[in-house]
Every structure is written in structure tokens, then in C-alpha cells.
Structure 1
């Protein structure tokens, strides 16, 4: 089967032909445990894929070689099309076949194509649940989105608006990114340049006195500045590995302002919450009320896609075994 393969930590995967799961050969072997084989229709590319391939991922690295890709949309043996996250290495989603935990897929709702729905899998789910389930946004609260022009950030801006935020502010590095954030419904968009004090003052001004909730996809100085601009009982949600592998702790604001830093990963949410959230986002996307651009490339272009992901492309990248 066609696949991408990581053969050395810290290097981009390369396209290759290998045995499919369950077929004879080193890669085929037997599929152990309560697992299912899925025909991949489209595979998502996410920051966590790069983190895993670096060999420094906090949850550990799979043995080499392996097929990367934690998420995808595929067809099960019974014909059902599902979104899945958490593929079983060495059979990740960037191949014609992947292995997933039995019963873990979420049915793709009618009315949306896989190439569009993949935006609202790992990235969309992380954004929406960080605002709603983990961040516990309350009506009228002020929300600051760090890294707002990225895939997670764009959905988070829209989610905050739809879920009742009183004011939404997005932070993005480039002017084009800030314009995109405003077009998605943010009340203000600010840059991430400058020293800690400059960023903090910019946040105070844009949020009109500080924020209740921060969705963090940047870390570093922006997060430290945001903590200094937090309202009492404020929450900062760090989204998976979108902010990088290492995360410094800024203790002063935690002690002095009664604020909280909350980690988040999609699988922490109960399955029924994830199912309902995916269905809701797909419905909103189908009606045009929730937007995130997806660029689908052929699987053969995985090395190029990997390089572009490392440079924060500003939209969702995905790979298709059958071509882009």
C-alpha cells in the first residue's frame, strides 16, 4: 500500500510502498488487541505529528520505522465512514490503510465531505472543547486567543463567539493573520511582537481590562503576558502540543491573581461530548457558519506538507492517499 514512513527521529517522513496491516511482511504482521483496519480517505496533519516524530514527545515515541498520522477519516469494513483520532502505530493515518481502536471512530454526519470535515477533527475539536468543555466559558466573558490565525485558533475564535463570549480578542504574528481573525468575528486582533510588558499592555488595551479565558496555541512571552493580564479566577487553557513540546511555568501570576493553567487533550473529554461536538461543528460547517480552510495534498507530497506544517501555514493541511 502507499504510505508515509518516518525512519529517523527529527526527520520528515518519506513516501513508500509497504505491506498493509494484516498482510504478510514486516509491516503487515498481525493486528493485536481490540483493533480495526480502516481504509483511509483523508489524513489530517497536525503539530502533534511533528512533535511525535521529533522523538521528544512527552507521551513517548513509537519505535522506528512507523507510519505517522494520529487522525483521519476512513471507511470501515461495513462501509461506515468515520473520523478517528489515535491511530495504532506503526499504522498511522498517512497510508491507504490504518489501524484504530475498535469502536473508537465517530460517524461522519451526512452532508459534509471528508476533505472538509477533517478540519473539525483534531484541530476543530481541540479548539471548541478548549473553549467550551475545558475552559468553561460563561456568557459575557472576555476571551483571548493566542495563535488565533492557526487552525486551532481560527475555530476557537468562532467557537467563543458562538458560545456567548462578550468580547473576543485574537493574537496573530502577521497583519494578514490579524485581518483573517477579524473576518472570523473577533472584536480585536493584536500582534505578538515586543517585550513582555509591551505585549501585556497591548492585551490590556484590546481586552478592555483583561480577560477571563485564554486559549493558548503559542506559549512563550504571549502566554506569560496573558497571565499578567488575567482577571481574577481567570483560566488559561494550553491546547495539546500546538504550543510546542516545552512549556515554562510563570508562577507569579498564579500566586497573585488566583488564576489557573489548564492542560487539554481531546481524549480527556467523554466520548459523548466529543461525538456531539464533532456533529455540531460539521453541521455548522455544512451551513457555512463555521469556517476553516483545508488544503488537501497527495500522500506523495507528505515531505512538502510536513515542511509547510512546521512553518505554521495558517490553514489545515491534509493528505489523501488517492491524490489531492
Structure 2
């Protein structure tokens, strides 16, 4: 079969022949129809992910964590959990039955591969992690990325009264306005102007921050939250840390927590099996009702080398099809 094959850690996957996988007991053979190319796939291939050794325990290896394919009965299923050296970006894959989920009728393979997992990264923290109340003000820090754009829409679907989105790309900032953001903040402003922009929104009140960036932008946002005088208004701001596209580190002064009302939690806080079941079904319903939209680019598997070398996808999810 044809596949996207990685020969060395830090290398570029090649489109070439690879041995077909064969199912053992309790495994099923799936004909792949679509696979997602995500940041985590790149991190694993570079050896920068904590689970790189697990997924690249044998080389050469096929890249790709998850995708959608067709079973022998013609039904579409989402899949993950392929054992090394196999992965999602191939014509065929074998996985344990427990690592498959049925795709509802009426949802195509490309949408099913791309949208649900990205949507859940913001649905889980909003609905279960911080228990967002209708009318809340939500700031999406890094709203111009794939998951950030979905976060804007999901916050509105859950009843947010006001959504603020930050980003660096002017075209993408315009796009998040189209998707429902009430206010946008350009992170490419000068440090002084950026602090002023943050403080203006903070004065109106921010209940929840979904942070996909960390690093410099989040550090400036947290600094802006610190009051300049004693304030007993009882304001709480819940910051949910999800991604680190702007860097893994920042400086966190003590008064940022002591005097600002800031509370910080991780994106996986509060997730239960029930939340996964309910949340996934909610996302499927929104997709079928055409309430969630993702910017996607579909590329053939044979172009994997070219697309892998590209530096910026400008908030689009790349879908690889065999």
C-alpha cells in the first residue's frame, strides 16, 4: 500500500510503498478515507512530543494519529490507536475495535476527521471545566488558529454574551468576526497598545479566558488583569490553559494571582467519560445542523512531502486523503 513514511526522527515523511497491515484477533482492517495533519503529528515526528518514543518505537514508521475510514460493511468510523510502525496516513490501517467510533450518517469523512477533536478542545473546558454561564464574556487568546476559530463559535452556541478574539493575522482576525467574535485584538500591536487593548476589555469584565498561546501574549494579558488599586468588586477570571503556540513558558508574578481574581486551570480539568460521550454527540448535532464551520484544505497523500514543509496553514486544518 501507499503511505506517508518517516525514516528518521526530525525528517520529512515520504510517499512510498509500505507493507500492508493485517488484523489480529479483536482488530479490524480499515480503508482510510481521510486523516488529519495536526501540530501533534509534527511534534511526534520531530521527537519533541512526550510520546514520540511510543509512536516512533520502530522506524521507518507511518505518521498520523487519527483519521476516518471505511469498514468492510461500508460504514465510516473514526479511528486512532494504530500500533507502530503503522499510522493514519496510509491507504489501510489496523486498529483495535475499542479505538473506533461510528460516524453518523450525513457527515462526510473529511469533516468527521477534522472537526470533532478540535471542537472538543474548547467545548470540554467551557461546558464542564469552568461551567460557563449564559451571558458570560469569553476571551479566546489565539482565536485565529483552527481550534480558536471553533472556540469562538462554540462559546456563542453555549450562550456567551460577548466573545473577544486575539490573533496576529489580519485576514484571520476578519474571519473570526464573521464567525461571531464581537471584538478582536491584534497581537501585533506595540506592547503599550496591546496592554491598553487588554485593559479596555478587562474594565468591561472578562469571565473566562481560553488560552491557546501562553508565552508573551498571555503574560501581557495576565499583567493587564492585575489591578492598580485595591478593588473589592469580587471579579473572578478563569483562565484555561490549552495550547502553547507562543511558547511553553511565561513569568507569573505573585500578585497576578493574589490581587486579580485570576484562577488558572488546565484544559483537561473536569473531563469525565460522561462528558466525552455527551460532548461528542453535541458536536455531531452541531455539524449536522451546519452550526460549526472549519476552514479546511484537502490534499492528496502523494503530496505529503510538500505540505509537510509548509510553515503556515493560516488557521486551516489539513486533511490528507489517500
Indicate which of 52, 57, 61 corresponds to 2:49: 57
CA contact (8 A) 2:129 2:268 kept: no
Aligned partner of 1:314 in structure 2 is 315
Deviation string 1:135-173 (CA, Å, 9 cap, x unpaired) is 432222211112212110111000001111121001111
Distance 2:48 2:79 in 1: 24
CA contact (8 A) 2:214 2:247 kept: no
Change (3 A) 1:254 1:301: farther
Change (3 A) 1:134 1:194: same
Deviation string 1:253-302 (CA, Å, 9 cap, x unpaired) is 23443433323359x83344334333322332233221112221101111
Change (3 A) 1:86 1:232: farther
Q: Which structure is larger by alpha-carbon Rg, 1 or 2?
A: 2
**1:89, CA displacement in angstroms?**
3.2
Change (3 A) 1:312 1:263: farther
CA contact (8 A) 1:169 1:186 kept: yes
Aligned partner of 1:178 in structure 2 is 173
Aligned partner of 2:87 in structure 1 is 92
Distance 1:3 1:77 in 2: 20
CA contact (8 A) 1:197 1:225 kept: no
Change (3 A) 1:255 1:37: farther
Deviation string 1:39-58 (CA, Å, 9 cap, x unpaired) is 21100111111111110113
CA contact (8 A) 2:215 2:248 kept: no
Residue 45 (structure 1) aligned with residue 37 (structure 2): yes
Residue 110 (structure 1) aligned with residue 105 (structure 2): yes
Name stretches of at least 5 consecutive residues in structure 1 with no aligned partner: 23-29
User: The residue matched to 1:89 in structure 2 has which SS?
Assistant: coil
Residue 121 (structure 1) aligned with residue 116 (structure 2): yes
Normalised to the residue count of structure 2, the TM-score between the two structures is 0.85
**1:186, CA displacement in angstroms?**
0.6
Indicate which of 304, 307, 312 corresponds to 2:306: 304
Aligned residues: 310
Change (3 A) 1:298 1:79: same
CA contact (8 A) 2:68 2:77 kept: yes
Distance 1:87 1:210 in 2: 45
Distance 1:244 1:70 in 2: 23
Aligned partner of 1:5 in structure 2 is 5
Distance 2:244 2:103 in 1: 25
CA contact (8 A) 2:217 2:246 kept: no
CA contact (8 A) 2:116 2:284 kept: no
CA contact (8 A) 2:77 2:100 kept: yes
Distance 1:130 1:108 in 2: 24
CA contact (8 A) 1:211 1:229 kept: no
For residues 96-245 of structure 1, the aligned pairs below 5 Å read 96-194=91-189, 196-206=191-201, 208-230=203-225, 232-239=235-242, 243=245
CA contact (8 A) 1:6 1:14 kept: yes
Question: What is the aligned-residue RMSD (CA, Å)?
Answer: 2.6
